[in-house]
Amino acid sequence: MTDRGFRVVVAGAGVAGLFMADTLKRARIDFTVYEKASEVGGTWRDNTFPGLYVDVLSRQYEFPFEPNYNWSRKYAPASEILAYVKKVAQRRGLAKFIRFNEAITAARFSGGRWQIETGKGRADVADVFICATGFLHQPRLPDIAGRDNFAGPSFHSARWDHSVSYEGQRWGVIGSGASGVQITEALAWAGCDVTQFIRRAQWVHIRDNPHSTWRERLKLRLPGGYAREQRRLWQMINEGDAWRLYPGPQREAMEREYRSYLDYIKDPELKQKLTPDYNLGCTRIPKSDRNYYEAVQLPNAHIVKGAIDRIVPDGIVMADGAHVPLDVIVYATGFDPHAYMRPMNVTGLNGATIDEAWRERIFSYGGIALPGFPNLFMLYGPFSPVNNVPVPLGLEQEIGCIMRLIAEVRARCAAAAPTIAATENFLARLGAAFPGTVWMGGCKNWYTSDQPTPVLWPFPQSERKTFFEQVPLADFNFIPTGQAD
């Protein structure tokens, strides 16, 4: 061991960064987290729009090291998830490791270590650099003519303007994805005049979201209760996912179920507008906790389907010339899903930048590492299961593997990067698994956009667990850094 000490820098203090921070703290590794915002929480801090609930069971959105026995509902509201995440950060004493209001703007691998630059002009150095910068983080605004001409308030769903009063306003919500559905539903039930602008219909999961009962909460606290419940949830994830991966009776049953939700719509014309023309699951399925289909039949709710031509000071003009007068516009138009750590400038071996590496296609080894970028790890990077697994569970697998690699690079005084061959093998295995999955069927989705395959994980969870437990060290080049720790 030398004196200078082994050190890790993490970018981001969302769920992923906090999970990583807690793991590093427990391993007694020196580390700093940089967070560009003023508090922890990432997605759950930024998205405060009405109607947002977690889309997996609340119990599945727990850090494995911080059980919560007190979720209020089967699917918790976003504010409760944020409160839980903040409480975990506080209880685990993580804040003192985080530099808030300080974005990492550049990272360069040089001299066997990562040279980090922040927006405050600080220079830091790390043996290992971990990007926990999120996969749905950079809001995407639509390229619609006249956006700046709108006279009233307008904002992205991830930047909700809480100073705008709900009452007496004509709201326009652009987008039919998960956020658009939840916002429209919430505004409609709140009695607002709301028009949702959609280009295509989505499959929507109309689900019950009951309050949790004292009996359910008590069961978790009984001896062995929590572990039993964890096993049940794990099994549920594995079994529940099969319809997405393989054709067969489970998929057919799901399709029948989702089609039956559309029967809530009484007006045949509206039903036609809201019936998707592609297979179930091809896009991320919006979850509705207060029956979106009933909400959009309220007299104060309207669906306008078709292309928007332009935005004018007092509303939206459709391609067919129809003018919809509005007072407020919400852009529920999603995120740049392939930005990952960018706009940060990341430079690996021999001056190669991340933008150059990903110019032709997005790739990674296991979603966690990249050839040519030694000792750079990503959490929920490309090909992580962003569609089909509760994020904390996915993180547990990735972080377990990263910690094993960290132990290895420390022991070898080296920097690890996956080999090109191993990365190509990984991508080929994934590519071969996509045909037959729901994501390949006839729709445009944000996983694919301009990529050759969806940027997703097309195998069962049990296989992902095995993959990360058994990552062969031979898949990595270990480059001596000349620095002992």
Ligand X SMILES: Cc1cc2nc3c(=O)[nH]c(=O)nc-3n(C[C@H](O)[C@H](O)[C@H](O)COP(=O)(O)OP(=O)(O)OC[C@H]3O[C@@H](n4cnc5c(N)ncnc54)[C@H](O)[C@@H]3O)c2cc1C
| Residues contributing to the site for ligand X (CB under 6 A) | 11-17, 34-37, 42-43, 47, 54-56, 103-104, 132-134, 136-137, 179, 344, 379-380, 390-391
Least separation, in Å, of the C-beta of 334 and ligand X?
A: 8
- Specify the DSSP element, H or E, that contains 478: strand 476-480
Q: Which is nearer to ligand X, 91 or 122 (CB)?
A: 122
349 phi/psi in degrees, rounded to 5:
-65, 140
Least separation, in Å, of the C-beta of 326 and ligand X?
A: 22
What three-state secondary structure class fits 21? Answer: helix
Q: Which is nearer to ligand X, 315 or 382 (CB)?
A: 382
Least separation, in Å, of the C-beta of 389 and ligand X?
A: 7
248 phi/psi in degrees, rounded to 5:
145, -170
Q: Which is nearer to ligand X, 367 or 390 (CB)?
A: 390
Q: Which sign, positive or negative, has the C-alpha torsion 305, 306, 311, 316?
A: negative
Least separation, in Å, of the C-beta of 388 and ligand X?
A: 10
Q: Which is nearer to ligand X, 103 or 326 (CB)?
A: 103
Residue spans of beta strands (DSSP E) within 341-400:
345-347, 376-378
Distance separating alpha carbons of residues 191 and 359, to the nearest angstrom:
47
DSSP letters for 300-321:
TEEEEES-EEEEETTEEEETTS
Least separation, in Å, of the C-beta of 188 and ligand X?
A: 19
Q: Which is nearer to ligand X, 48 or 477 (CB)?
A: 48
What three-state secondary structure class fits 263? Answer: helix
Least separation, in Å, of the C-beta of 132 and ligand X?
A: 5
Query: Can you name the residues that pair with 416 across neighbouring β-strands?
Result: 478
Q: Which is nearer to ligand X, 369 or 422 (CB)?
A: 369
Least separation, in Å, of the C-beta of 454 and ligand X?
A: 16
Q: Which is nearer to ligand X, 335 or 478 (CB)?
A: 335
Distance separating alpha carbons of residues 422 and 147, to the nearest angstrom:
45
Query: Which of 38, 12, 447, 26 lies closest to 244 in space, CA to CA?
Result: 447
CB pairs under 8 A, 24+ apart, for 156-160?
156/330, 156/331, 156/333, 157/47, 157/49, 157/183, 157/330, 157/331, 157/332, 157/333, 158/46, 158/47, 158/49, 158/335, 159/46, 160/47, 160/48, 160/49, 160/50, 160/330
Q: Which is nearer to ligand X, 11 or 88 (CB)?
A: 11
Least separation, in Å, of the C-beta of 55 and ligand X?
A: 3
Query: Can you name the residues that pair with 345 across neighbouring β-strands?
Result: 106
Q: Which is nearer to ligand X, 265 or 368 (CB)?
A: 368
Distances (CA, A) of 280 to 142, 402, 445, 464: 25, 34, 12, 23
Answer yes or no: are the C-beta atoms of 171 and 195 closer than 8 Å.
yes
